[in-house]
Chains A and B, each alone.
Chain A
Amino acid sequence: MGFFDITSKIIKSIAYPSEMVPSIDDHEDDGEHHFDPVTEHESAKLGMWLFLATELLLFGGLFAAYAIYRAKYPEMFMEGSKSLDVVLGTVNTVILIFSSLTVAVAVKAIQENKIKLVKLMLWITIICAAIFAVNKYFEYTYKFSKGIFPGTDIFYSIYFASTAVHMLHVFIGMAVLGVILRKVYKGKYSKDNFTAIEIGGLYWHLVDLIWIYLFPLLYLVG
């Protein structure tokens, strides 16, 4: 086989690794769909909830640090919180909650084969995420311009660490929803096959959930 054949074989196998395993009985299993659709669907949801549990515990460390240091240094937290832009924070909260709505609508829409609605909702969700990111960019650069950095004091350490880790998850969510959107365009999903959209939506809701807690704890102290 030529170089390109091998390369494309390897690239394809990353996308569909099961094709590399020749099946023993030709039409029994293609290696991908071992299990009946209901089991697969329920399992995917269960698996995603478990993964969300791990995300919760990841942020949990940050919340723990917040709880302890806020109790230790209440004035520092009040000062720091006052310096944050409540308006921008509220706008971001509104945007994120709205994006939760749009992704929930998308999950409902695919179950009614309303593909156009799905596409629209996913686009809006991703755009909302992008606006959130842009807002945070402005917030960060404003702070840096005032000489406030992550190491300035413990409140800002928590602020930057929490919002940065959250931002990372916003980006991951955008990527996941982007991949799903692309597959919607390719016609991969329907009311009989929409698991990915549902579990992608679950992930996005978690991103929103974390922010629902971060917002008052960081921006509205005192």
Chain B
Amino acid sequence: MDNHGSYKSLINIWILLMFLTVITVWVAQFDFGALNVPIALIIASIKGGVVALHFMHLKHEDGLTWVFASYPLFLLFLLIAFTATDMFSRVLN
């Protein structure tokens, strides 16, 4: 396995994550109405993406690993989407 990057680049990633954490908390004090959840999720996903790509080396892994890493997200989306659709489309007679 190749040795990608340096210790310095790892620390840089960490600094980025700290910065994003500050943003996470800072953004939370504003009320964007319906956009609250998407914004929180987007910031979390950026952080998560950084951890996955750099700390977990996903950036350098082969396509098969990418498939196995990302397909579950799709399934998760399915579970939430269908269940939520049910919950919120019931009509009480």
Contacts and interface: CB of A to CB of B under 8 A. Distances in A.
A–B interface present (Cβ within 8 A): yes
Interface of A: 41, 45-46, 49-50, 52-54, 56-57, 60-61, 63-64, 67-68, 70-72, 86, 90, 93-94, 97-98, 100-101, 103-105, 108, 111-112, 198, 201-202, 205, 208-209, 212-213, 215-217, 220-222
B68 A46 contact: yes
Given A68-B87, A72-B87, A61 B47 contact: no
Contacts of B84: 67-68, 71
Interface of B is mostly: helix
Contacts, number: 118
A104 B55 contact: yes
B1 A41 contact: yes
A94 B51 contact: no
Interface string B72-86: 110110011001100
Contact of B51 (A46, A98, A112, A205): A205
Given A72-B87, A212-B51, A222 B36 contact: yes
B7 A53 contact: no
Interface string B22-61: 0011001001000011001101100110011011100001
A198 B17 CA distance: 21
Contacts of B80: 60, 63-64, 67-68
| Interface size class, chain B | 35 or more
A49 B3 CA distance: 19
Contact of B73 (A56, A93, A217): A56
A199 B81 CA distance: 32
A196 to B, nearest CB: 13
Given A46-B68, A64-B83, A101 B28 contact: no
